[in-house]
Amino acid sequence: MTPPGGPARAARIRAAAARRHLARIERQIEHRAERRTITAKAKARASRRHRAGWTPADERLFREHVDHLTFERRGEIEALS
């Protein structure tokens, strides 16, 4: 017995699930990179009062963390792509 909609519908459902999982991984990577960057900022600066938000250096550090974490999870990302 075949599912309603046939194999094409099943393929679309699997593709949608893979996209959702990939989006979840990307969010996890960005949140973890942000936490790592904030931790590094706190260690580098004694006082955070009267400071602006993120500096360009902080943004570069964040992007480095994102790149590193993406590289670590490349196998999982490639499997879903």
The pTM is what?
Answer: 0.73
Q: What is the mean pLDDT of the chain?
A: 85
In percent, how much of the chain has pLDDT > 70?
84
Nearest to 41 by CA among 64, 63, 66, 58: 58
Sign of the dihedral defined by the CA atoms of residues 17, 23, 29, 35, in that order: negative
Give pLDDT tens digits for 43-61.
666 555 666 677 888 899 9
